[in-house]
Amino acid sequence: MANAYFKVRKPINEPIYSYEPGSLHKKKLKEKLKEMRMNKIEIPLIIGGKEIRTGNTNVCIVPHNKELVLAEYHMAGKKEIEMAIKAALEVKKEWESMPWEHRLSIFLRAAELLSTSWRYIINAATMLGQSKTVFQAEIDSACELIDFFRFNSYYLTEIYEEQPNSTKDAWNRVEYRPLEGFIFAVTPFNFTSIAGNLPTSPAMAGNVVLWKPSSTAVFSNYFVMKLLQEAGLPDGVINFIPGFGDEIGRYVFDSEWLAGVHFTGSTKVFQTMWKTIGDNLTKYRMYPRIVGETGGKDFIFVHNSADIETLIAAMIRGAFEYQGQKCSAASRAYIPESIWLELKKRLLEEISTIKMGDVEDFTNFMSAVIDQKAFNSIKSYIEYAKNSNEAEIICGGNCDDSVGYFIEPTVIVTTNPKFKTMKEEIFGPVLTIYIYKDDELDKTLELCNDTSPYGLTGAIFAQDRKAIVKMQKILYYAAGNFYINDKPTGAVVGQQPFGGARASGTNDKAGSKLNMLRWLNPISIKENFNPPKDYRYVFMKEK
């Protein structure tokens, strides 16, 4: 331990590159895209710092050009899970006792590398492997991941600073140990930043981790792992184990050393995990911390005083950016009858200008959805609406998987506020609108609050302050991230801590102090400078 209190610089959010025509950033990124597209790689597991090849492989493809294979990756089985648990536990003591300033320096260096030389690598890998446009990749895999590294390091030192009161004869101290075991980080396909955050936030706090990336994001996630290694992450602290989720889960949840789960993904998978942990509870050495951010059915609720231009931009960005594959994407909207005709006309005009295609053509606003399974599922919702007499598709609705998994930005108008596409998470570029009578505002707000089991994000649009107050009040528990006159997507680390309750998760707010607290196991220490020498109390004397 050093004889000083060190301070981590108070972070500011990473500036977003604009990749304007003729810029060096754009040129370098395009070169990296070409290089990655043309050179197929092999991705091993990384356990205890060693590359492991199991021969049981799968491929990483480009969703907007599905015949193009970027990589072949090896998958973990029972033997590799056992190896990973062993490797993690072997380095645990050394990692947790490393002075925290050295631990955090690794992640601050990772942030700096990602902000400079690694930016093009991780952005290009995300664009190709997950079909993100340059802007969507930049705000995710570069800026948000850099912010996670820097802000979480800072929050951890704020926690370490928090100490209890002492008296003149006793010094009370709290030390923030990591959890006793390993953390299982299970990450989704849709954000490279979340994939990087879930294993690293517990690791910063001194924990050791098994990281199971999503099968459709292994490509970019592998480069995140390589970045961490280059930044100096010691072998075994984070172990990279792609494979089938349910198979890996089965072996991991069987270990007595499971100390926590850091999950982001669908509600169904999270509930299955929680049940398995519950069934195994007596096996574990501690109650595993369960942190999960899951699905959403995010709303835009409009009052008749709303500014229509702002609303249209928010609806399009909120519903269709990254093909609607954000947990926060707007997927249902409540519009008052009095403004609907004007709004409809201009909304359809704007949507008709949206370009969709290959992410290497920077003029595209949208690209493909992630895989065949997602394509089929989204298409089935659109088919359902086409065949219903309670719904009308007013734009889009075409799906084409001949080259890549393309689905047009689609707007459904329904007469039933509890229509299937108003309730269920679709996770694609589909927005369903319900038109309400202006004098039924309160009733419709209640409907919005009750229609879906989720509580992730929501946005209200109004100029009338009294209406804003009322809307916010009725929708108090409907969202964990609530927006007034802004789209419900695009939360920024350090500005809008992200997460929701109800069926949307444990609401532990990724990229915040609240989340970091979950990976700590405090010990209270009392040192007495003047302990009693007699067990008897004064009240025991009669004279």
Which residues within the stretch 195-234 sit at the binding site for ligand NAD (CB under 6 A)? 212, 214-215
Min dist CB 88 to ligand NAD, Å, is 17
Min dist CB 205 to ligand NAD, Å, is 20
Q: Does 236 bind ligand NAD (CB under 6 A)?
A: no
The CA distance from 157 to 160, in Å, is 5
Selected catalytic residue, list 143, 327, 399, 448: 327
The CA distance from 233 to 8, in Å, is 18
In the bound state with ligand NAD, the residue whose beta carbon lies nearer, of 186 and 231, is 186
Min dist CB 262 to ligand NAD, Å, is 11
Min dist CB 327 to ligand NAD, Å, is 3
In the bound state with ligand NAD, the residue whose beta carbon lies nearer, of 154 and 184, is 184
CB 70 within 8 A of CB 41: yes
In the bound state with ligand NAD, the residue whose beta carbon lies nearer, of 11 and 249, is 249
Which residues within the stretch 167-186 sit at the binding site for ligand NAD (CB under 6 A)? 186
CB 36 within 8 A of CB 125: yes
147-168 core/surface letters (b: 16 or more CB in 10 A; e: else): bbbbbbbbbbeeeeeeeeeeee
The pattern of x and - marking residues 255 through 284 that bind ligand NAD according to CB under 6 A reads ---------xxx--x--xx-----------
Q: What is the dihedral of CA 43, 47, 53, 54, to 10 degrees?
A: -120
The CA distance from 359 to 428, in Å, is 17
Give the number of other CB atoms < 10 A from CB of residue 537: 8
List the structure tokens of 250.
Answer: 């089965």
CA angle 498, 367, 346 (to 5 degrees): 80
In the bound state with ligand NAD, the residue whose beta carbon lies nearer, of 113 and 300, is 300
**For this structure, is 448 an active site residue?**
no
CB 113 within 8 A of CB 200: no
The CA distance from 369 to 514, in Å, is 32
Choose one: 165-173, 189-197, 221-229, 398-406; the region binding ligand NAD (CB under 6 A): 189-197
Q: Does 190 bind ligand NAD (CB under 6 A)?
A: yes
Q: Which residues contact 537 (CB under 8 A, 6 or more apart)?
A: none
Q: Does 187 bind ligand NAD (CB under 6 A)?
A: yes
In the bound state with ligand NAD, the residue whose beta carbon lies nearer, of 180 and 246, is 246
Q: Does 245 bind ligand NAD (CB under 6 A)?
A: yes
Choose one: 190-198, 339-347, 434-442, 513-521; the region binding ligand NAD (CB under 6 A): 190-198
In the bound state with ligand NAD, the residue whose beta carbon lies nearer, of 218 and 471, is 218
Which residues within the stretch 426-465 sit at the binding site for ligand NAD (CB under 6 A)? 427, 456
Helices (H), 162-242: 192-204, 218-230
The CA distance from 129 to 61, in Å, is 6
Selected catalytic residue, list 14, 96, 144, 293: 293
At 59, is the secondary structure helix, strand, or coil? strand
Min dist CB 486 to ligand NAD, Å, is 18
Choose one: 218-226, 387-395, 497-505, 514-522; the region binding ligand NAD (CB under 6 A): 497-505
Select the residue interacting with ligand NAD from 63, 129, 178, 188 (CB under 6 A): 188
In the bound state with ligand NAD, the residue whose beta carbon lies nearer, of 396 and 500, is 500
Q: Does 494 bind ligand NAD (CB under 6 A)?
A: no
At 543, is the secondary structure helix, strand, or coil? coil
**For this structure, is 31 an active site residue?**
no
Phi (first) and psi of residue 250, to 5 degrees: -55, -45
Select the residue interacting with ligand NAD from 113, 291, 327, 335 (CB under 6 A): 327
Cβ-based burial of 478 (10 A; exposed 0-12, middle 13-18, buried ≥19): buried
In the bound state with ligand NAD, the residue whose beta carbon lies nearer, of 267 and 414, is 267
Which residues within the stretch 287-316 sit at the binding site for ligand NAD (CB under 6 A)? 293-296
In the bound state with ligand NAD, the residue whose beta carbon lies nearer, of 250 and 443, is 250
Number of H helices, E strands in the chain: 17, 23
Min dist CB 384 to ligand NAD, Å, is 19
Min dist CB 273 to ligand NAD, Å, is 6
Intra-chain end-to-end CA distance of the chain, in Å: 52
Give the number of other CB atoms < 10 A from CB of residue 202: 30
Q: Which residues contact 234 (CB under 8 A, 6 or more apart)?
A: 49, 91, 94, 95
Q: Does 189 bind ligand NAD (CB under 6 A)?
A: yes
The CA distance from 282 to 291, in Å, is 19
Q: Does 191 bind ligand NAD (CB under 6 A)?
A: yes
Min dist CB 276 to ligand NAD, Å, is 8
The CA distance from 198 to 193, in Å, is 9
CB 258 within 8 A of CB 285: no
The pattern of x and - marking residues 393 through 432 that bind ligand NAD according to CB under 6 A reads --------------------------------x-x-----
The CA distance from 193 to 214, in Å, is 13
- Active-site residue list: 293, 327
Q: Which residues bind ligand NAD (CB under 6 A)?
A: 186-191, 194, 212, 214-215, 245-246, 249, 264-266, 269, 272-273, 293-296, 327, 425, 427, 456, 498-499, 504-505
